[in-house]
Structure 1
Amino acid sequence: TGDSTVQSQYGVNVGVASYELDLFGRVRSLKRSALESYLATEEARRSAHITLVAEVANAYLTLMADRESLRISRETLAAQQESVDLVQGRFDLGLGSELDLRQAQAALETARASQARFQRRVDADRNALAVLVGAPLPPLPGEDLDDPAVATLPDVPAGLPSSVLRLRPDIAGAEHALRAANANIGAARAAFFPRISLTGSAGSASAELSGLFESGSKAWSFSPSLSLPIFSGGRNRANLDVAEVRRDQNVARYEQAIQTAFQEVADALAARDSLSREEQAQSALVSATERSLTLAEARYREGADDYLAVLDARRNLLDARQQRVAVTLDKLTNRITLYRALGGGEQARDATLIGEVAAPRRDTPRG
């Protein structure tokens, strides 16, 4: 008409995000893959937790072993001081030689150096344990490995079924990774099929602001879209091949995790039996060397033998006691190793839970 006009349009809309109709299971497979990947990460966290618990336990046992070695060195030092006093008295009376006196003094200084060395190791063990704990150490139960609070460390009960290994975090994590890989194959296959996406919005529209929310002012829009993988067949084929290769890799990792678990448990069980026998033999050796030292000291007092026999007997006794500490430490750390090999937790230590542990948690995935 040649006349200028001004028109106004008011609208309030709420958009609906794009939504894919999962006709062929692509989104469902991606969701399952993401969930299994998360569960695999959770198993990795549990593995780190079990490792930390085992490291703290091993550090504690090492501290207890060095404490016992320190106690042995103190007892040896005290006994050696008594021997020096005895030899000095015999030397003053003209009943002993200067060689015996110097040998006794040398053994005394050796014992004093040994005590200082083990004191240093105990201090270092406490610092290492504090670093692992991440806080100042509270009062620790037990004084050394002979303390009942330490020596009665719970052992893994006999009769555990092999299915307990499924609770190991590395096996469970490998299982989740395998499930995620299988789900990725499903998503890669679904990419060959068309995808339908829906977008839309709903709200109110009016030429006047006052009538924006009155009846009859509703407005909506709906827009479907279809994606056909016509020119992406090569890419989809490559993605499917990659997904299948990754599935095969996860199958190999899963099988390797199972083989490693059986090997670690078998090694720990074999070591447990031999260490128990070795500890018994070492205890018998300590008793025999104690008797030998008693006889050597008696013969020296009676003048039937020189002081060299006493030195040899005391050295053999010290070696036997220190070796028994080492064997006892190996036996207790073997229990920690077996605890880790069985996946940690109460399932690896409580015989009352054998039936619960033996029950399968899930179906074994197939490659």
Structure 2
Amino acid sequence: MNTRNHQPSTRGTATLHISKYTSIAVLLGALSGCAFSDLTTSAHMREPQGMEQTLADSDLKLSAAAWPSETWWTSYNDAQLNALVAEALSGSPTLRAAAARVHQANALEDIQGASLLPNAEIGMSVTRERFSSNGTTPAPAKGTWQNVHQGTFNLGYELDFWGKNREAVRAAVGRRHALEVDERAASLMLSTSVVQAYIALQDNYEQLDLAQALLDQQEQIEKLTQQRFEAELGTQIDIKQSQAALPASRANIAALKEVIELNQNKLASLLGKGPDRGRTITRPRMRASSTVTLPTNLPAELIGHRPDVVAQRWRVEASGHEIEVAKARFYPNVNLTSFIGMQSLAFDTFNDHSSRILGVSPAISLPIFEGGRLRGNLDAQNAAYDLAVENYNQTVIDALRDIADQIASLRWLKERLAQQNEAVATAQAASDLVSSRYAAGLATYLQVLATQNATLAEKRQLVTLKSRALSLQANLSRALGGGYRPQIQPDADVTSTAAKKS
């Protein structure tokens, strides 16, 4: 009888050992789950709600297609503004820093994703070694110095039974997506800042026009006062009063020119350029839209249009996966390593078939006593998740308030503009009447001065309200997400994508 046929092969023995290790790992894993069952999260995500009455009372047109476009600033019909925003988005250090953070997150995701794949390496070594005379090394090598030549191909793989590595990759993907959305949010804030600074610059120029028109009028009245004095219809006091108003008006014009230059510097800074770039920015020619339209599907779709809300949602997603990673650390690690290669004391026999070496090494490690480190880590991840959820909830609340503020302001701006136009017309009529009476010698210069100041104040307020109309439209576009459309929702399965990248 050939007994060799009844001996288990080396390969069969290794498979049997691996199966035993796997069974042990599953058993130990079942026991480990009891160590953290009392640690849970407490926060819950809120969905945006409570905008229905605000929309109904807004007196603004509602449309399902009213979400802003990605280039929402083009609605102002100002070619220079379009060029400035494009320049800012292409040259801003802030956006380049955001892009660098996304690049860094991509690299970290690649590093984390490598844990899902086998690890292979080639090792070559020559070791000068003295073998023990009383060890396992046989004669003639024992008790002598020898060179040990070894070359191996090593392969290692962690059997991710509990999903620790997969969840870590999911968390890395979530953090990367959050930073990508942060980059979009930074772009939105930058474009909004450029538009708002441009609106302020236009307001400065229009206020300068009013101040210059007032100065021209005052100079005409000063000449008229001189003529009245020469015709013995006025006094020296009237002349001094008319002359006294001129320096104040010129000082006001100088102050407005200063503000214009400061706003040009601000715009140059937003473009990522020096102050000289601001000197080339000419007078804005923006026009406010006659109609403002709101989306009818607020607030249900708000979480998909506001980049700050989407970014926080991705952070919640990443924190949830980090909890799963922390839980998996309670379970045993199961690693499988193997090697194949050549080993020889003499270099000339290194390539002989008899010098080959081969080994397989399954290993299981289970934390027994770690001083509460694993429970503390899981508890910290639970707290981080709760913090991410509450940050998300607060971001949603702030987003709803932001939109409601813009709606409320737009709602009342129409009435304010109507009343202000009437106030300007009334003040201008009074000023014209008093000026005519003054030319005819029927009014005093103080009356002229009073009506001029009143008219100027009303016109300034009207210019401010018109600039506010432009600003509110920009703020509404920003509050509605500025044309952002997420390509991947936070709840999507992204594990396979991360594994492929690694």
Q: TM-score range by the shorter chain?
A: 0.7 to 0.9
1:323-334, aligned counterparts within 5 Å? 323-334=461-472
Task: Tell me the TM-score normalized by structure 2.
Answer: 0.63
Per-residue CA distance 1:106-143 (angstroms, 9 max, x = gap): 222221111111111111111122122122248546x3
SS in structure 2 at match of 1:152: coil
Q: Percent identity?
A: 29
* Whole-angstrom CA distance in 2 between matches of 1:200 and 1:358: 44
Residue number in structure 2 paired with 1:82: 220
Residue range with higher mean Cα deviation, 82-91 or 160-169: 160-169
Structure 2 counterpart of 1:70, which letter? L
SS in structure 1 at match of 2:294: coil
TM-superposed CA distance for 1:54, in Å, is 1.6
Alignment coverage as a number of residue pairs: 348
SS in structure 1 at match of 2:295: coil
Structure 1 counterpart of 2:153, which letter? V
The 1:194–1:6 alpha-carbon spacing in structure 2 relative to 1, beyond 3 Å, is: closer
Per-residue CA distance 1:52-87 (angstroms, 9 max, x = gap): 222222111111111111121111111111111111
Structure 1 counterpart of 2:297, which letter? P
* Whole-angstrom CA distance in 2 between matches of 1:5 and 1:358: 70
Residue number in structure 1 paired with 2:152: 13
* Whole-angstrom CA distance in 2 between matches of 1:71 and 1:170: 40
Residue number in structure 1 paired with 2:444: 306
**Native 8 Å contact 1:165 1:342 kept in 2:** no
* Whole-angstrom CA distance in 2 between matches of 1:156 and 1:218: 80
* Whole-angstrom CA distance in 1 between matches of 2:491 and 2:333: 32
* Whole-angstrom CA distance in 2 between matches of 1:21 and 1:154: 64
Structure 1 counterpart of 2:339, which letter? S
Residue number in structure 1 paired with 2:474: 336
SS in structure 1 at match of 2:335: strand
Residue range with higher mean Cα deviation, 240-249 or 62-71: 240-249
* Whole-angstrom CA distance in 1 between matches of 2:233 and 2:461: 36
Structure 2: tracts of 5 or more residues without a match: 1-138, 493-502
CA RMSD across the alignment: 2.9
Which among 384, 390, 412 is matched to residue 252 of structure 1? 390
Residue number in structure 1 paired with 2:406: 268
TM-superposed CA distance for 1:208, in Å, is 5.8
Residue range with higher mean Cα deviation, 319-328 or 161-170: 161-170
* Whole-angstrom CA distance in 2 between matches of 1:277 and 1:219: 90
TM-superposed CA distance for 1:38, in Å, is 2.2
* Whole-angstrom CA distance in 1 between matches of 2:258 and 2:442: 40
Residue number in structure 2 paired with 1:159: 295
**Native 8 Å contact 1:33 1:183 kept in 2:** yes
Residue number in structure 1 paired with 2:457: 319
**Native 8 Å contact 2:438 2:445 kept in 1:** yes
TM-superposed CA distance for 1:206, in Å, is 5.3
Which structure has the highest helix share of the two? 1
The 1:193–1:179 alpha-carbon spacing in structure 2 relative to 1, beyond 3 Å, is: same
Q: Does 1:25 align with 2:155?
A: no
SS in structure 2 at match of 1:232: coil
Residue range with higher mean Cα deviation, 171-180 or 334-343: 334-343
Q: Does 1:121 align with 2:259?
A: yes
Per-residue CA distance 1:89-116 (angstroms, 9 max, x = gap): 1111111222222221122222111111
Residue number in structure 1 paired with 2:210: 72
**Native 8 Å contact 1:63 1:122 kept in 2:** yes
Q: Does 1:280 align with 2:418?
A: yes
* Whole-angstrom CA distance in 1 between matches of 2:437 and 2:200: 38
Residue range with higher mean Cα deviation, 269-278 or 155-164: 155-164
Residue number in structure 2 paired with 1:37: 175
The 1:196–1:99 alpha-carbon spacing in structure 2 relative to 1, beyond 3 Å, is: same
**Native 8 Å contact 2:288 2:469 kept in 1:** no
TM-superposed CA distance for 1:236, in Å, is 2.3
**Native 8 Å contact 2:204 2:256 kept in 1:** yes
**Native 8 Å contact 2:178 2:311 kept in 1:** yes
Per-residue CA distance 1:277-312 (angstroms, 9 max, x = gap): 212322222222222211111111222222222211
Structure 1 counterpart of 2:268, which letter? A
* Whole-angstrom CA distance in 2 between matches of 1:200 and 1:27: 21
TM-superposed CA distance for 1:247, in Å, is 1.7
The 1:206–1:70 alpha-carbon spacing in structure 2 relative to 1, beyond 3 Å, is: same
SS in structure 2 at match of 1:220: strand
Task: Tell me the TM-score normalized by structure 1.
Answer: 0.85
Q: Does 1:189 align with 2:327?
A: yes
The 1:130–1:154 alpha-carbon spacing in structure 2 relative to 1, beyond 3 Å, is: farther
**Native 8 Å contact 1:81 1:108 kept in 2:** yes
Structure 2 counterpart of 1:151, which letter? R
TM-superposed CA distance for 1:255, in Å, is 1.2
TM-superposed CA distance for 1:202, in Å, is 2.9
The 1:127–1:140 alpha-carbon spacing in structure 2 relative to 1, beyond 3 Å, is: closer
**Native 8 Å contact 1:156 1:338 kept in 2:** no
The 1:206–1:295 alpha-carbon spacing in structure 2 relative to 1, beyond 3 Å, is: same
* Whole-angstrom CA distance in 1 between matches of 2:261 and 2:407: 32
The 1:279–1:210 alpha-carbon spacing in structure 2 relative to 1, beyond 3 Å, is: farther
Structure 2 counterpart of 1:326, which letter? T
Residue number in structure 2 paired with 1:354: none
SS in structure 2 at match of 1:199: strand
Structure 1 counterpart of 2:228, which letter? R
Q: Does 1:107 align with 2:245?
A: yes
* Whole-angstrom CA distance in 1 between matches of 2:241 and 2:468: 34
Per-residue CA distance 1:311-356 (angstroms, 9 max, x = gap): 1111111111111122222222222222222222x35xxxxxxxxx
